[in-house]
């Protein structure tokens, strides 16, 4: 439909012209209490996702399991460390440099290190990890918490 997209080229008007941009405070609703750490998590995740190495896939199955697959060709089990640090799944890879014992005429395969961090929600547990054919696969599962109803007594002050 003509006229819905902004014009391009000379005389084009920016969609943000004349708008006062303010920082979105997350979460800013008065009924959301104690979610301040979520704002820091979103900001930290946005900064960490800039590097595209190693590439990865995330799948979810019908039974609620997650599968993270990272392409880590050239890395062995001894080159990869997987840790769970304060609800963050941290995957680090570092290969030893072949050093001076090898002479390269061309070196197109780098010995590059990496660090990937995935923030895990409450109740998501890591079930295991495997490395096969250059693919590191981690399996996670979300445990649904039991609903808790608790009465709060009213006391006099």
Taking only the tens place, the pLDDT of each residue in 81-116 is 999 998 899 999 998 876 668 888 888 777 789 999
Edge to edge, the sheet with strand 80-85 lists 80-85, 88-93, 114-119
Look at 42 and 76; give whichever has higher pLDDT: 76
97-102: Cβ within 8 A, 24+ apart: none
Is domain 54-142 classified as CATH 3.40.50.2300?
no
Task: To the nearest 10°, report the CA torsion of 134, 88, 129, 46.
Answer: -30
Beta bridge partners of 124: 142
pLDDT bin (cut points 50, 70, 90) of residue 10 is low
Give the domain ranges of the chain.
Answer: 54-142
Q: Choose among 49, 27, 24, 47: nearest CA to 37.
A: 27
Look at 157 and 70; give whichever has higher pLDDT: 70
């Amino acid at each position: 439909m003509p006229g819905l997209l902004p014009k391009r080229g000379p005389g084009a008007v920016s969609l943000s012209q004349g708008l006062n941009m303010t920082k979105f405070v997350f979460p800013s609703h008065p009924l959301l209490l104690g979610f301040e750490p979520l704002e820091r998590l979103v900001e930290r995740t946005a900064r960490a996702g800039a590097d595209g190495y190693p590439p990865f896939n995330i799948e979810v199955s019908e039974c609620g399991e997650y599968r993270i697959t990272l392409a880590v060709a050239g890395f062995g089990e001894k080159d990869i460390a997987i840790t769970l640090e304060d609800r963050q799944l941290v995957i680090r890879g570092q290969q030893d440099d072949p050093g001076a014992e090898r002479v390269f005429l061309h070196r197109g395969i780098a010995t590059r290190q990496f660090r990937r961090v995935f923030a895990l929600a409450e109740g998501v547990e890591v079930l295991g990890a495997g490395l096969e054919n250059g693919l590191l696969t981690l399996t996670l599962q979300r445990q649904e918490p039991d609903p808790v109803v608790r009465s709060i007594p009213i006391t006099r002050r």
